[in-house]
Amino acid sequence: MPQSTLITRAQIEKRVAEMGRQISADFAGSELIALCVLKGAVFFCSDLMRQISLDVALDFIQVSSYGNQKYSSGVVTILKEPQLDMRGKAVLIVEDIIDSGLSMREVFRYIESRGASVVKTATFLDKPASRKVDFKAEYVGFSIDPQFVIGYGLDYAERYRNIPEIQVLSD
């Protein structure tokens, strides 16, 4: 499968620093939890957190995803629940990519149901043209065309997560 670079390491570094500054300003004074959506967002979340100049706790959630397919089944279940008490806290959901919007809609609802006072979403990538349900993230690294991408945590059948840039995967 041929791959071509879409977003370089330098572009990633610059954009994540900008996002961290913005988030630090917006959440100043609140008790913040970064909620990393496993597994794809691990790389983005660890970079982003180090660009946030506030006290920030870390937790994880995992939802069922594509399996080994390039397209979503549309059914979302929670595989791993967060551990921290979210009541009255500000929760920043940190996601790798929003495609149909189905996963984020479910995660967002679930976190609200755990009593967070503020819930916002930071996604590294967004494919707005692929939405099946309406969902808007407050913080978006890059908006991209509807194409399948890998690297910087994003996989295809569990491969390519360790590629340090974003590449387009074509058949």
| Residues in touch with Mg ion (CB under 5 A) | 40, 65
Would you call 26 a catalytic residue per the annotation?
Answer: no
96, 99, 126, 155: the catalytic one is 99
| Minimum separation from the CB atom of position 11 to ligand IMP (A) | 17
Contacts of ligand IMP in 83-142 (CB under 6 A): 95-104
Q: Identify what 96 binds: Mg ion, ligand IMP, none; CB under 5 to 8 Å per kind.
A: ligand IMP
| 3-state helix/strand/coil string of 93-144 | EEEEEECCCHHHHHHHHHHHHCCCCEEEEEEEEECHHHCCCCCCCCEEEEEC
Quick one: which of 7, 49, 72, 111 contacts ligand IMP (CB under 6 A)? 72
Q: Rounded to an integer, what distance in angstroms lies between the CA atom of residue 11 and that of residue 8?
A: 5
Query: Is residue 6 part of the contact set for ligand IMP (CB under 6 A)?
Result: no
Three-state DSSP state, 79? strand
Q: Rounded to an integer, what distance in angstroms lies between the CA atom of residue 166 and that of residue 80?
A: 26
Quick one: which of 111, 154, 166, 167 contacts ligand IMP (CB under 6 A)? 154
Sign of CA dihedral 13, 19, 22, 27: negative
Query: Is residue 167 part of the contact set for ligand IMP (CB under 6 A)?
Result: no
Q: Which of 112, 109, 117 is nearest to 133 (CA)?
A: 109
Q: Which residues bind ligand IMP (CB under 6 A)?
A: 40, 65-66, 72, 95-104, 148-150, 154
Residues serving a catalytic function are 99
